[in-house]
Every structure is written in structure tokens, then in C-alpha cells.
Amino acid sequence: MDRVIRIGTRESELAVWQATLVKDLLAENGFKAELVFIKSEGDTDLKTPLYEIGVQGIFTKTLDIALLSKQVDIAVHSMKDVPTQLAKGIIQATVLPRASYKDLLVPKHDASFLDNPGAATVIATSSIRRKAQWLNRFPHHTLENLRGNVNTRLQKVKDNNWNGAIFAAAGLERIGLRPANAVELDWMLPAPAQGAIMVVCREEDAYCYAACQPLHDKETAICATTERDFLRALLGGCSTPISALAQVKDGLLNFTGNILSLDGKEKREISKQVSLDNIANLGSLAANEMLMNGGQSILDGIRNGQK
């Protein structure tokens, strides 16, 4: 069957890069594919903070509709943007090998201001998670909202009187835009599945599902799924400062997750290490344990608008 697989993608440079990667990988395995560009609500509204738009699926909803209406056959997403509950009729087709999971500080000039605790400092990010972790470490800093695609946000750092802004390393590195002065934030725990790419298809489309299987990276899928299970058990979205990281090393799965209050003043964290034979439900089990050890009060405060 000489079918051309239509790949749905957003129009940002990063989204197109990711979709093109999938197109090229499919071609290596003998499948023809083409890109179909779909504009999402998250791309057209660049002023409203993400947590005011109804963030769950803001970057995936339009592609889900295109997929279910058969405008496209598969869709490519940054996995951290995908809701933990996929839309009915849509399934995960593959997870690609993970790039860097880290966050980066991109300073306007350099990062020497971090060594001056009394300096008036302004950092930009639209991420509730990044804001909370930054304020936990630097409570005297001011956080400004930053929206737009990667290129737009980098330009805003140059145009505004900020000390710097926070970006995902994978996004900058994939399109060759990581600045030389960028600083890796090794202390900042990432968003669940940050750095991973997920491809989805229609549930009944056995052809596209099979075509995507050779691209699947089992280790990335295990880690990202554990992190997303942690997020799902906490009923969290982009409006909740929840972070998680799972890594495989020497036959063990090492997991760390946390939740913070919006102002960064309160924090609960949990770490687990289990064998790969014993990873079932690790993310949700870790979430429940953290809730019983102070996480629930933080979550309740966020929901009640108090933290």
C-alpha cells in the first residue's frame, strides 16, 4: 500500500523541526510522509498567561481535532504539552529518544547577578513550575510573564530590561538557538516528559501505528510515562507547579518528583529507586506518598487560590 502519511504539526520552527524529524525517520523505514500545518490556539494568543487559557491541551487540541476529522494521520507533540488523558479515539503511536530534560537560564548579558543576593533581579518565564522553583531558590527576585515561540521569546530577552529568561534546553538545542552564555539549571526539576517527543494516531489506524513502531524508544517511554503518571495522580496541569524526573541507570529507575506553592515558599519532594522489574504504578504511588507527607496541603492551597 503506497499510502502517504499526513503529519499534523504546529507552524512554529520547533514544531516543524520535530515533525520533519518524524518524517525523515519514517522515510528511513520506507514510509512516505508529508507535513500538514495546523494553527493552534496556543500559537495565536501570545499575551494571555498560559494558566488563564485553560491550558490542558492548549497546544494539542487543534491537532487532535484535525486527527479525528482525518485531515491528518498522525500528530507530533512535545510530550510535556500532551494531556495525561489522551482524547478519545487517539492513542500514543511512539515516543522518540529523549533529548535534554533540563531547563536553561538565558541571561541578557551574563549570570553574575545570581551571585549578588541583594540585587534587583527580573527573570521571565510563562511556566508556573519554573516560577515556583525559581522563587523557592531566589525569593527576592521578580518574575515576569514571557509568551511566544522560542524565537519570539529569545528576541524579547534582548528587547526587555530583564536579567534573563528560562527556556527548555531541548527546544533551543533542536533548532540550533542555544546561546553561548546559557546556564543549565541543574537544580531545577523539569516538567514531566520534558525533552521527549510523542507521536499520536487514531486508535483504529493500524497502518500508521505500525509505521511508527520502529521509532519507539522504550527507555524514554518508561521514564516519561512514570513522570506523567505522577502528574496525573496529582491531577496537575500547567497551572500547578509539579515537576518530575525519571532516569534509568544500572538496571534501576531513579525517580524524583515535587510540588511547590505558587509563591515558591512551600515545597514537598519525593525520591524513589526501584528495579525495572518493579516499576508498575511507580509514578502514582510516589504521588500518593508525597500527598500524605505534606503535598496535599500545598495542592489544596493552590486549588483554593491561597498559595
Looking at the annotation, which residues are catalytic?
Answer: 81
- Ordered DSSP codes for the chain: --PEEEEEE-SSHHHHHHHHHHHHHHHHTT-EEEEEE---HHHH--SS-GGGT--TTTTTHHHHHHHHTTS-SEEEEEGGGS-SSPPTTEEEEEEPPP----EEEEESS-SGGGG-TTS--EEE-S-HHHHHHHHHH-TT-EEE---S-HHHHHHHHHHS--SEEEEEHHHHHHTT---TT-EE-TTSPPPTTTT-EEEEEETT-HHHHHHHGGG--HHHHHHHHHHHHHHHHTT--TTS-EEEEEEEETTEEEEEEEEE-TTSS-EEEEEEEEEGGG-TTHHHHHHHHHIIIIIHHHHHHHHTT--
